[in-house]
Structure 1
Amino acid sequence: RVNDVLHRAAKIVTRIVAEENVKPVMEESPISGGIRYGGVMNRRLHSIPFRRIQLYISYKGMERGFKPETVDAKNTSRTCPMCGEISKPNGHVFKCRKCGFQADRHFVAAWNIAMKLLMCRPLPLAAKATDEFKEVERIVIKS
């Protein structure tokens, strides 16, 4: 049952990527062997099929003629995309202590992953102009 859901999700993702002609980017496998949260929590975390869905997206993508890129996701939800400052996580909203930038942490992580892929510097936007980002729900990188 889980494999069926993963295959369906991967099929949807690869269809959207092909239709939109975008470059798919995935973080490197987020669960490592070094996690020590205790027996029950470790079993729960390691039972989540992160890597499996990535493999399904990769092979279904190759069938459609594209290969997803992988990026190290370290600190992507903690690094300010405007000034590069690393801040402590505090709930779902990222707040930069240095420049005052605020946005959803998932948005910040997606933006930083895209920036890592493109090997760009933080955007030179004023912190006041970043209120417009609150309405953004996804980032699409045209290839």
Structure 2
Amino acid sequence: MIKRTSFLKVRAELQSKGTKSAKRKLKAISGRENRWMTDVNHRLSKTLVNRYGRNTLFVIEDLTDVSFDDKNLNTWNKAQNCELRSWAFYQLEQFLSYKVKETDSFVLKVDASYTSQRCPKCGRIHKLNRHHDIHEYICDACGYHSNDDRIGAMNLYELGTMYVSGDTNPRFGSRKID
């Protein structure tokens, strides 16, 4: 996102100066960036609810215990790491949750484990099948390949299907191969 990158650059310049006026400016920029991010999350949640209408099941990953430490993000570049760490996931979830109530829809939070490591065709879970550097998932068992984010979305859809079919706590099993 261009706007987020500009906030990052200005913040870095001001932090390197370290003057009293730079610190005041940092505080002002922080508020502006927070208001902008809140607006983005508000518009995104509103668009989702309006687009998919009544009686929709929105399936999202529960990112409560997901760590965004450097050791978990070392395959990504600095800009991607910063963008991921600074996104307001919880706020987006809250906005989506209260907006769906007006449309008789539902937000289902599912365990994030293996959603981007599981092949949606054969069901094999293998961490090394996801290639962060080229944003591609290639299953070494059946050969299926696609964009890694699309794979995650397909697996979230599968978990939603499991929920609609009666599984109150859908998740992927332990057929993991490291």
Per the alignment, do residues 73 and 82 of structure 1 end up closer, same or farther by CA in structure 2, a change over 3 Å counting? same
Higher relative contact order (CA 8 A, sep 6+): 1
Say whether residues 1:80 and 2:119 are aligned partners. yes
* Identical counterparts, % of pairs: 28
Picking from 94, 97, 113, the partner of 2:140 is 97
Q: How far apart, in 2, do the equivalents of 1:30 and 1:80 lie?
A: 24
Greater helix share, structure number:
2
C-alpha deviation, 1:47, in angstroms: 3.2
CA offset digits 1:11-47 (Å, max 9, x no partner)? 111101216x532111112663x44328x99987543
Picking from 32, 44, 51, the partner of 1:16 is 51
Q: Which amino acid aligns with 2:160?
A: L
C-alpha deviation, 1:73, in angstroms: 2.1
Q: How far apart, in 2, do the equivalents of 1:23 and 1:109 lie?
A: 16
Q: How many residues align?
A: 117
Aligned residue for 2:96, secondary structure, equals helix
C-alpha deviation, 1:114, in angstroms: 1.4
Say whether residues 1:25 and 2:59 are aligned partners. yes
C-alpha deviation, 1:95, in angstroms: 0.6
Aligned counterpart, 1:55: 94
Larger C-alpha radius of gyration, 1 or 2? 2
Q: Is the 8 A contact 1:92 1:104 kept in 2?
A: yes
Q: How far apart, in 1, do the equivalents of 2:116 and 2:122 lie?
A: 14
Aligned counterpart, 2:103: 64
Q: How far apart, in 2, do the equivalents of 1:101 and 1:4 lie?
A: 38
Per the alignment, do residues 93 and 36 of structure 1 end up closer, same or farther by CA in structure 2, a change over 3 Å counting? closer
The aligned runs of 1:114-129 (5 Å cut-off) are 114-119=157-162
Q: How far apart, in 2, do the equivalents of 1:8 and 1:46 lie?
A: 20
Q: Is the 8 A contact 2:56 2:105 kept in 1?
A: no
Aligned counterpart, 2:156: 113
CA offset digits 1:115-134 (Å, max 9, x no partner)? 122228xxxxxxxxxxxxxx
Q: How far apart, in 2, do the equivalents of 1:43 and 1:84 lie?
A: 32
Per the alignment, do residues 92 and 46 of structure 1 end up closer, same or farther by CA in structure 2, a change over 3 Å counting? closer
Q: How far apart, in 1, do the equivalents of 2:147 and 2:83 lie?
A: 26
Q: Is the 8 A contact 1:78 1:86 kept in 2?
A: yes
Q: How far apart, in 1, do the equivalents of 2:118 and 2:82 lie?
A: 29
